[in-house]
Amino acid sequence: MKKVLCFGELLLRLSPRLGGAWIAEESMPVFVGGAELNVARALARWQLPVSYCTALPAHNLADEVIGWVAAQGIDVAPIHRSGARIGTYYLPQGADMKAAGVIYDRAYSSFWELAPGDIDWNQVLEGVHWFHFSAISPALNAQAAAVCLEAAKAASERGITVSVDLNYRARLWQYGKSPAEVMPELVKYCDVVMGNVWAEQQMLDIPVRAGLPDDKEAYIEQSMASSAEIRKRFPKCRQVANTFRFDAGAGVRYYATLDDGKQFYVAPEQYAAEIVDKVGSGDTFMAGLIWGNCNSLRPQELIDFAAAAAFNKLFITGDATTATVADIKRSFAQYA
């Protein structure tokens, strides 16, 4: 079977209940996550061979974390042991990763300190069919961006499919470079690009129409234009997928698009009046794209499955999906 390698920072998410509850209870839930690990967990859950590469310190706490990752069915052999700390962030319960509620504590983590040459990509990429990373890693510092470039280039030169999730985290881009100064050099090695039209504007300077109305038809037209422009600027790119998730009271509306260079596809809109946890929904969508491609789904089936997987994650507590492929297909039939 085709093997996937996910590369990025493993993070501990501390999720306090606000209003002083976390202090009074002397308790705060901790989730093991990170965008690329969330993707790897989903793929392992869906029976696709997957390995995970990150940097973690050589101490007992990291040993426990690695053991837990391995227990999820993920190959942890590529994990690089260096540095002194595991990256963390605080996200109050019910808050959104993209909102002001997130507080990062990632400086000088093992991954933050990675430098080009630290990882033997010849060894790590052996037997790999698909390499995935996200825009969160190059947002940390120039050195991390250089490591991502080294990895993407090495994978591309070996004929490995390379994918990137253009997740934009404004609070992370603090080292004097804008995303648009960094990401194009990375994306030129990518075969599959996932994001949304606003992230593509921030990271790749792909224009979004001024005065874009709050209208599904207008958003889909913008997605068509943005996707076509990405494929034009980055000839290696063969698929562009965009997601649209909008709050609707306590619930959400969700749909997605796919441009494969031949045709444009739209997944049916899904709606729920209430959800449980927004964290990891985009990572689950990315996992759906990878799983669908590796299983040779037709384009409409591919975008439908990825969107259904992402929407289904909204009802699951934690950073990564625990749903099976069958669960996702049932959920899609219920909410579409």
**Confidence (pLDDT) at 72:** 97
Give the residue among 237, 147, 247 at the shortest CA–CA distance from 194.
237
| 281 belongs to a structural domain | no
| 176 belongs to a structural domain | no
pLDDT tens for residues 95-115?
665 555 789 999 999 999 999
SS3 label, residue 81: strand
Residues belonging to the chain: 336
- Across residues 78-99, what is the average pLDDT? 85
Contact 275, 295 (CB under 8 A): no
| 104 belongs to a structural domain | yes
Rounded CA-CA distance 258/296 in Å is: 15
Contact 20, 64 (CB under 8 A): no
The gap between the terminal CA atoms of the chain, to the nearest Å, is 31
* Paired strand residues for 264: 259
Residues 6+ apart with CB under 8 A from 327: 312
| 18 belongs to a structural domain | yes
Number of structural domains, the chain? 1
Average pLDDT of the chain, as a whole number = 95
Q: Which domain holds residue 91?
A: 1-113
**Confidence (pLDDT) at 336:** 61
| 33 belongs to a structural domain | yes
| 275 belongs to a structural domain | no
Amino acid at 257: T
Tokens at 305, concatenated = 């499955």
| 76 belongs to a structural domain | yes
pLDDT for 216 beyond 90:
yes
pLDDT tens for residues 126-153?
999 999 999 999 999 999 999 999 999 9
pLDDT for 18 beyond 90:
no
CATH code, domain with 26: 3.40.1190.20
197: number of Cβ within 10 Å: 23
**Confidence (pLDDT) at 217:** 96
36: number of Cβ within 10 Å: 25
- Across residues 212-225, what is the average pLDDT? 96
Rounded CA-CA distance 56/61 in Å is: 10
- Across residues 297-313, what is the average pLDDT? 97
| 228 belongs to a structural domain | no
